[in-house]
C-alpha cells in the first residue's frame, strides 16, 4: 500500500471571502482536503488502469499520460463541506487553472461497452474516516458527464500537482463539487451502476427535503455545484460613510454558470441587479454593483446568484446559503 504522510485527515483552511481578490487563486492559498492523509506516490511506479465495461483495458504510465493531447482549463474548485455536516456553508472555494488530458478521449480509446453508465474512480489513499475502514477513496460520476471537459490533470496553475493536490495525477470534474475530483488517481472502472463504497453511499448523499423542510426519504448524490456567491468587498466590519457610493463586488458560480446576481443592502428586503460577467470556461464570474448607504448604523449586505433554469440561493439551511457581510455606516 502507498505510504501516507500524514496518515490522518489533512486540510488547509480556505481564504476568507474578503481575501479572494485574485481571479486565479495562488496554489499556496488553494483549499486542501484530504480525508485519509497524503499518499506519497512514486511517479516512476505510478500507473493508471482503465477497466470494467470496456473492450480494451488500458494501463498508462505517467509518461504515456503526458504524451496524450494536452488541455488546460480554468475552473472553480469547491469543497461541499464536511460530509458529516452537509447543510453547513463552509465557502471552501478556489478558482484555479488545471493542465492535463481529456478523459473522454481516453475512454473512447478503451471502446466502452454500450451498457456502461458510470465511471468509478479510485485514489491511492486508505485508512479510517468517520469510524469506517476504507481501502481506497472511491467516487463515481455519470459516463455522459465526461464530455463536459473532465480532465485527468497533472498540473495546477502551470506546475506539477503538489503531493497534497493529488500528485502525480487526479481527476478534475468541472462543475461538480471537489469531492468528485479524485486525487492520487490509480484506477477508472466503467460500470452499469453506481459505486457502493462509503464515499458514494453513506457520505456525499444529500437528504432531499420538501417545502416545509421535512426529509422526503429520497437522497441525491453530491455532484453538481448549486448556485453560490461570495462578497469580496466590502469586508466584514468595514466602516462606510453615509451617502457615499461603494462598490460591492464578489464572485458567483454554479455548474453551468450563473446568469444573474443581485445584492441587498437591507438584509434581503430589496435587491439590486449586480450583473455577472460572462463565464469563461468553468471559472467563477465577477459581479459588481454600487451601493449608497442612506442610514447610519449596522447593515447587512447580502448577495445571491441565479442560474438559467431559475435556481437561486436559499437564505439559510443549505451549503449554498446566502453570504452575509455586516458593515457599519457612519
Ligand X SMILES: Nc1nc2c(c(=O)[nH]1)N[C@H]1C(S)=C(S)[C@@H](COP(=O)(O)O)O[C@H]1N2
Q: Which residues bind Mo ion (CB under 5 A)?
A: 33, 79, 178-179
For ligand X, the binding residue among 4, 15, 20, 31 (CB under 6 A) is 31
Are the beta carbons of 32 and 53 closer than 8 angstroms?
no
Using the minimum distance from each CB to ligand X, give the nearer residue, 219 or 294: 219
Does residue 137 interact with ligand X by CB under 6 A?
yes
| Alpha-carbon span 64 to 130, nearest angstrom | 37
Stretch of 27-35, 59-67, 206-214, 321-329 lying at the interface with ligand X (CB under 6 A) = 27-35
| Alpha-carbon span 312 to 322, nearest angstrom | 9
Query: Which of 153, 142, 222, 162 has the alpha carbon at shortest distance from 185?
Result: 153
What are the b/e assignments for 266-284, b being 16+ CB within 10 Å? eeeeebeebebeebeebbb
Supply the Cα-derived Rg of the chain in whole angstroms: 21
Q: What is the DSSP string of 231-249?
A: EEESPTT-EE-TT--EEEE
| Alpha-carbon span 279 to 178, nearest angstrom | 19
Residue 105 parent element (H or E): helix 103-109
| Alpha-carbon span 230 to 78, nearest angstrom | 12
| Alpha-carbon span 141 to 149, nearest angstrom | 13
Q: Which residue is nearest to Mo ion (CB)?
A: 79
Using the minimum distance from each CB to ligand X, give the nearer residue, 36 or 263: 36
Given ligand X, Mo ion, none, residue 155, with its beta carbon under 5 to 8 Å by kind, binds none
- In whole angstroms, how close is the CB of 83 to Mo ion at the nearest point? 8
Find the binding residues for ligand X in span 228-257 (CB under 6 A): none
Enumerate the β-bridge partners of residue 240.
329
- In whole angstroms, how close is the CB of 209 to ligand X at the nearest point? 23
For ligand X, the binding residue among 14, 17, 123, 257 (CB under 6 A) is 123
- In whole angstroms, how close is the CB of 178 to ligand X at the nearest point? 3
Stretch of 17-25, 29-37, 140-148, 270-278 lying at the interface with ligand X (CB under 6 A) = 29-37
| Alpha-carbon span 320 to 58, nearest angstrom | 39
Find the binding residues for ligand X in span 149-188 (CB under 6 A): 165-166, 178-179, 181-184
- In whole angstroms, how close is the CB of 90 to Mo ion at the nearest point? 9
Stretch of 28-36, 97-105, 226-234, 297-305 lying at the interface with ligand X (CB under 6 A) = 28-36
Stretch of 34-42, 46-54, 234-242, 314-322 lying at the interface with ligand X (CB under 6 A) = 34-42
| Alpha-carbon span 134 to 127, nearest angstrom | 5
| Alpha-carbon span 165 to 153, nearest angstrom | 10
Does residue 33 interact with ligand X by CB under 6 A?
yes
For ligand X, the binding residue among 8, 24, 29, 32 (CB under 6 A) is 32
Given Mo ion, ligand X, none, residue 293, with its beta carbon under 5 to 8 Å by kind, binds none
| Alpha-carbon span 270 to 30, nearest angstrom | 34
Strand order in the sheet with 137-142: 58-61, 47-52, 185-191, 118-123, 137-142
Stretch of 32-40, 220-228, 270-278, 315-323 lying at the interface with ligand X (CB under 6 A) = 32-40
Q: Which residue is nearest to ligand X (CB)?
A: 123
Q: In the complex, which residues of this chain contact ligand X (CB under 6 A)?
A: 30-36, 77, 79, 123, 125, 137, 165-166, 178-179, 181-184
Amino acid at each position: 500500500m502507498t505510504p501516507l504522510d500524514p496518515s490522518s485527515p489533512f486540510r488547509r483552511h480556505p481564504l476568507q471571502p474578503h481575501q479572494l481578490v485574485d481571479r486565479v487563486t495562488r496554489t499556496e492559498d488553494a483549499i486542501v482536503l484530504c480525508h485519509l492523509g497524503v499518499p506519497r506516490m512514486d511517479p516512476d511506479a505510478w500507473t493508471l488502469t482503465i477497466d470494467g465495461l470496456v473492450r480494451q483495458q488500458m494501463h498508462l504510465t505517467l509518461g504515456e499520460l503526458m504524451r496524450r493531447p494536452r488541455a488546460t482549463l480554468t475552473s472553480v474548485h469547491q469543497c461541499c463541506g464536511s460530509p458529516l455536516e452537509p447543510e453547513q456553508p463552509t465557502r471552501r472555494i478556489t478558482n484555479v487553472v488545471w493542465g492535463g488530458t481529456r478523459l473522454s478521449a481516453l475512454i473512447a480509446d478503451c471502446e466502452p461497452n454500450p451498457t456502461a453508465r458510470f465511471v468509478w474512480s479510485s485514489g491511492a489513499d486508505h485508512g479510517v474516516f468517520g469510524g469506517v475502514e476504507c481501502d481506497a477513496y472511491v467516487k463515481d460520476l455519470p459516463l455522459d458527464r465526461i464530455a463536459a471537459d473532465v480532465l485527468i490533470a497533472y498540473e495546477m496553475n502551470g506546475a506539477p500537482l503538489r503531493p497534497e493536490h493529488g500528485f502525480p495525477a487526479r481527476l478534475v470534474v468541472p462543475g461538480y463539487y471537489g469531492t468528485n475530483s479524485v486525487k492520487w488517481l490509480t484506477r477508472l472502472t466503467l460500470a452499469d451502476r453506481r459505486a457502493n463504497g462509503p464515499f458514494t453511499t453513506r457520505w456525499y448523499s444529500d437528504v432531499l427535503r420538501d417545502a416545509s423542510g421535512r426529509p422526503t426519504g429520497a437522497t441525491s448524490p453530491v455532484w453538481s455545484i448549486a448556485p453560490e456567491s461570495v462578497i469580496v468587498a466590502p469586508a466584514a466590519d468595514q466602516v462606510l460613510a453615509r451617502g457615499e457610493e461603494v462598490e460591492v463586488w464578489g464572485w458567483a458560480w454554479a455548474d453551468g454558470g450563473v446568469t444573474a446576481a443581485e445584492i441587498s443592502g437591507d438584509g434581503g428586503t430589496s435587491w439590486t441587479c449586480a450583473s455577472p460577467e460572462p463565464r469563461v470556461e468553468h471559472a467563477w464570474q465577477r459581479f459588481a454593483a454600487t451601493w449608497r448607504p442612506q442610514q447610519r448604523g449596522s447593515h447587512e449586505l447580502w448577495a445571491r446568484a441565479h442560474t438559467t433554469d431559475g435556481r437561486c440561493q436559499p437564505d439559510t439551511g443549505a451549503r449554498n446559503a446566502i453570504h452575509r457581510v455586516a458593515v457599519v455606516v457612519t
